Structures are given as structure tokens and as C-alpha cells.
Structure 1
Amino acid sequence: MKFVHVLTCFAIALGFCDAASAQSTRIPVVAAENFYGDVVRQLGGDYVQVTSILSNPDDDPHLFEASPKTARALQHAALIVYNGADYDPWMDKLLGASKGNTKRTVIVAAQLVDKKSGDNPHLWYDPKTMPTVARAVSEYLVKTDPSHKSDYDARLATFLDALKAIDTRVSTLKSHYKGVPVTATEPVFGYMADAIGFERCNEHFQLAAMNETEPSAADIAAFEKDLRERRVHVLIYNSQATGPMTRRMLAIAKEAHVPSISVTETLPAGKTFQQWQLLQLNNLADALQGWQSK
């Protein structure tokens, strides 16, 4: 019996069998981004083993390069979750190169919410995205490990209930600030800004930054004018991609007493997805109140 157990574990390690089929082994999951990984952990608890590829909030996700270690993790994953919509194009290449694992399931957030190449890829800032992703992940877990269905169902209900705090905060902000003009260095926060009902300014500038191209002189001038004349109530910037142009706009905003808040593309250490989103929304509320006090 001991010999059989050793062979079973060896086969699982090599990816020759589905890890979920062994009751003593957790379901191996790879998430391209750590906020999706956090959601899987909340839904799967001790029954999942999650590896997140993008996990450092101090790194610029746009500069990420896949490594052999990343490819190995994908090779042995039973479930893979990634963003799509060209946010993590390296995932398609890695999955194409690791076709040996035919039993794996792939969940792509963009496909679940009908987003495609060319759309704003920062889907996790849309309040509708995570409930949809969570339901898809939970459905997979129940199908793969039906003996723990009651636990998975309870965890999904708890997660969805926790998201209500975000919806409530968005609704409150919308009731006070719908139509208020705001600006940003990138469209990272775009979906959330739309959910609140902001008037989003300088979108051409933001798209250029997202696509890593130079904004036009006219777009730069318009951005600076909005800040200097306090036509916008807050400047939202991506603290993981603070190049010279972002630092320039932050300096102008500070001189003009336009509040600024940072948002990130990666979940900060020690935070759940819900805590992260609420923290940023609370910072936004403080910044908007700060503009009014000037």
C-alpha cells in the first residue's frame, strides 16, 4: 500500500493524473494575477493550492516576462484563471506551449464578461466581473470535487455577500459625485469610474499611456490645463507605472491643490480582493472631500 501511495504521488507531481482525484491532494490552481488567485483561495479554502504569477504590487505588470518556472506551474495545473483581453498575452503563448495537460480547465475573465482585444482590459475594476468569475470558479470546484459541495457553496455565498460592501460604497459615491469630472494617467480605474458615474476626462492621454505610446502635445496640454484650472476633482494614477509623465502630472496636481489617489494593478500583500477595493474607494472618497475643502 505504501508503494502504491508513493507511485500515486509521483504521478500527480508529474501531471500524469488529475490532482483533484486524490482525496489527500489539493486542487492545483494557477492564476495569472494574484487578485484572481485570492478569489480562488477564498472559494476553495484548504482544498486548493494556488500559485499566482503576477503578485508583486511594486512591479510594473507591463514589464513581466514569463519564465520556465511559470511554464512548469501551468503544466501541472488542474485549473488556470487569467484575465484575457490582451492584458496577459503571455498566458496564451504559455498555454499553447504546454498542451500536454489535457485535463486542465481554463477560465478567462474577459470571455465571461464579453470583453475582447481593444477593450479596457482592467476588468477587475468592474463590479460585475468578480461575481461572474467567482461563480465560474465555484462551479468548477463543485464539479471536480463534489464531495465538498456544501463547503464550496457556503464559501461562494460568503464571498458574494462580502462584495456587497463594495457595491454599497460605489452606490454612496454615485449618489454624491455622479457627473463629477475626474482624470487619470491610465484607464486602470475606468470601469469603477463609470460605475460611480464620473465624467472621465483626458481619455486619449490615458489610452496612449496604456498602449505605451506617446500622448500628443494637445492631449498633454489639455491634461495640464484641467489640473491647473482645477477643472477635475481628483487625479487617479497607477502607482505601479510612474514614469516621467505621471510624475509631471502629479506635481502639477499638487501645485493646483487637486487631490490625487493611487490605484494598483496587483493585489497588495496581506489584503483580500474586497479589502483592496474598499481601501481604494475610501481613499477616493477622502480625496473628493479634500477637493471640496479647498
Structure 2
Amino acid sequence: MRNKKLRFIWLPIILVFVLIGIIFYHTWQNQETNVNTNKDKITVVTSLDSYGEMAKAVLGNQGSVTSIINKPNMDPHEYEPTTSVAKQYQKADVIISNGGGFDNWSVNFAKQNKDAKTINIANLYHYKDGESGGNEHFWYKTDITTRLTNQLVKQYSQLLPKKASYFKKNAQAYQDKAKKLVDLQNQVKVQLAGKKLLATEPVFDNTLLALGANMQDQKFARAIEEGDDPTPSDVREWQDLINQGKIAVVIDNPQASGKLAKQGVDYAKAHHVPVVKARETKPANTTYIEWQMQQLNALNEALQK
């Protein structure tokens, strides 16, 4: 009888503990659901606004994109990130860096965020830092609009699998917009056939070389890019090529501040050689596609003179 009485006493107590456990379990489940709901948006950070435009085009309404270098007067080579920028990278779900030695600060921040999906554009092109004749201005690659958006679809879809078709549709829409840029590239390619060009910096070279341009006196351009003065022999070669009438167009980076670069441009103008400007950073209030088309249209027009 005593055992039966004990069982009757403990039974309600056990039931109370079971009920408390059920309540705690459901509460925990609700909290987990809320957390997951709050994370159903993707946070993207990218070093350059050209990549940021593509990232936002594919992401659509499924998150936010922050571009660190987002003003035309910001010098990417001299940029020094702040503590707030470091925090933005730490909170990011997806990080896009140019790589190739161009934005080492971005690449390093990406390495510190072990949970983020990272895209290093240099790796997309199998580029190795410091390789001979390399050019890290990957936003001037003629297929960047396709290569990067396709990669973004893969990364976003891993984070939000249910939105994979949405991301793919957005990427295709952006690539469709870029078709007019591709068409213009093909037109310029025809005009560039057999033409020799000079450049104050190799900023635009990834586009020009892909379209068949024959770039001359590249030692001059690389010296300017590295912040050095071209040698006297480089300057003489520049002038001799112009004097001989071998140069169809000179490409000038208006953001280059070197005295010899300016003198080279002035020499070309004095000898009636067309000069086309190609910037390193995207102009304000201009989309990436518009920017590239403006420069290519200017080059196309100059080649027909």
C-alpha cells in the first residue's frame, strides 16, 4: 500500500516536470524560428562599387549591399579602411574583393570572417599576384558581368536555397542589360583591328587587349601606374611612335597625376592624335554598363577619325 501511495504522490510531480519541459521546448523552437527568420536576408560587402552594382542586381530584395569604395574621387591605391569598415566585413554573409594585390585590405578582412562566403575576382580569372604582365583591373574584363553574376548566384543560393531561381532570374536580367555593352565591344573590336595604341596607365588594357588592340610602350604605362617616372628612353619611344604616325589613339587615365603622363598626353594632342579617357573608378550617378559604354563609344569615335 505504501508503494502505491508513493506512486500517486510522484505521478503529479512527474507530470508537472513533463509539462514544463514541453513548454520550454516550444519556447526554444519559437526562438529558433525567429532567429532563422531574422537571418533570411543576405548582407553583402564589396570593395568596389562596380561589383556592388552587380551584387545588388542579383540579390534583389533579399538583402543589402555595401560598397566601400563608392565615390569617383576615392583613390583605391591609397585607401585605408576604418574600424567601422572592419566591422562591416565581420558581419557580412558574402564578401567580394578584387584581389590581385589591388585591395589587400579587403582580402585580409575576408580571411578574418570565417563564416562568410568570399569571392575573390582574381581567383575567378586564375590570376596570381605579381605575375609578369598581369593586370588587376578585373572590372575591365569583357566578360565580368557574366562571370561575377553567375558566381553570385551560386553563393547566394547556398545561403538561401529556396531563392535560387529568383537569383538566377535576376542574374539573367542583368546579363541581358549587358548585351548592349557586349555588342558595342564587338563593334570596337572591328575598328581596333591592326591599330596601335598608347596608354598613360594600363587601366583599360584588360578590355583593349581582349578586343585585339596592339598596345605600345607599356613600360611607360606601368611606370606611371606604379608611381614612378618613365625612363628617358620610355619617353623617347612614346614620342617616336607618335612622330612616326603609328598611334591611332592614346588612352589616358584622368586620375593619373604624374607630370610625365600629362606631358605625354599633351604631346599626343599637339600631334593631332585622339585622346580617350578611361577612369579607374566609376563616375558618380552612372551605372557600370553606362560607364563602360561611354568609354567604348568615345574610343569607337576616335578610331574612325
TM-score, normalization by structure 2: 0.83
Q: Is contact 2:153–2:164 with CA below 8 Å preserved after alignment?
A: no
Determine which of 159, 176, 179 is the counterpart of 1:164: 179
| Aligned counterpart, 1:105 | 117
| Aligned counterpart, 1:84 | 99
| Aligned counterpart, 2:159 | 144
Q: What amino acid is the match of 1:102?
A: K
Q: What SS is found at the alignment partner of 1:62?
A: coil
Identity, % of aligned pairs? Answer: 28
> Separation in 1 of the partners of 2:278 and 2:185?
16
Comparing 74-83 with 253-262, which one deviates more in the overlay? Answer: 253-262
Q: What amino acid is the match of 2:302?
A: A
Q: What amino acid is the match of 1:162?
A: K
User: 1:42-82 CA distances to partner (integer Å, 9 max, x unpaired)?
Assistant: 11112121111111112322121121121111111110001
Structure 2 residue runs without a partner (length 5+): 1-27
Q: What SS is found at the alignment partner of 1:31?
A: strand
The aligned length equals 273
TM-score, normalization by structure 1: 0.86
Equivalent runs, 1:278-293 vs 2, <5 Å: 278-289=293-304, 292=305
1:39 aligns with 2:54: yes
Shift, 1:22, TM fit:
3.1
| Aligned counterpart, 2:63 | 48
> Separation in 1 of the partners of 2:61 and 2:254?
33
Q: What SS is found at the alignment partner of 2:277?
A: strand
Q: Is contact 1:109–1:129 with CA below 8 Å preserved after alignment?
A: no
Equivalent runs, 1:120-269 vs 2, <5 Å: 120-269=135-284
> Separation in 1 of the partners of 2:198 and 2:129?
24
> Separation in 1 of the partners of 2:235 and 2:165?
54
Q: Is contact 2:100–2:122 with CA below 8 Å preserved after alignment?
A: yes
Q: What amino acid is the match of 1:275?
A: E
| Aligned counterpart, 2:128 | 116
> Separation in 2 of the partners of 1:23 and 1:43?
20
Structure of higher CA gyration radius: 2
The CA RMSD over aligned residues, in Å, is 2.3
1:92–1:154 distance in 2 versus 1, CA, 3 Å: closer
Comparing 236-245 with 191-200, which one deviates more in the overlay? Answer: 236-245
1:274 aligns with 2:286: no
1:75 aligns with 2:90: yes
Q: What amino acid is the match of 1:168?
A: D
1:288–1:235 distance in 2 versus 1, CA, 3 Å: same
Shift, 1:229, TM fit:
4.1
Shift, 1:241, TM fit:
2.1
> Separation in 1 of the partners of 2:44 and 2:253?
28
Shift, 1:26, TM fit:
3.2
Q: Is contact 1:170–1:195 with CA below 8 Å preserved after alignment?
A: no
> Separation in 1 of the partners of 2:67 and 2:253?
21
> Separation in 2 of the partners of 1:189 and 1:41?
24
User: 1:166-212 CA distances to partner (integer Å, 9 max, x unpaired)?
Assistant: 22111112223212001101111111111221111111111222222
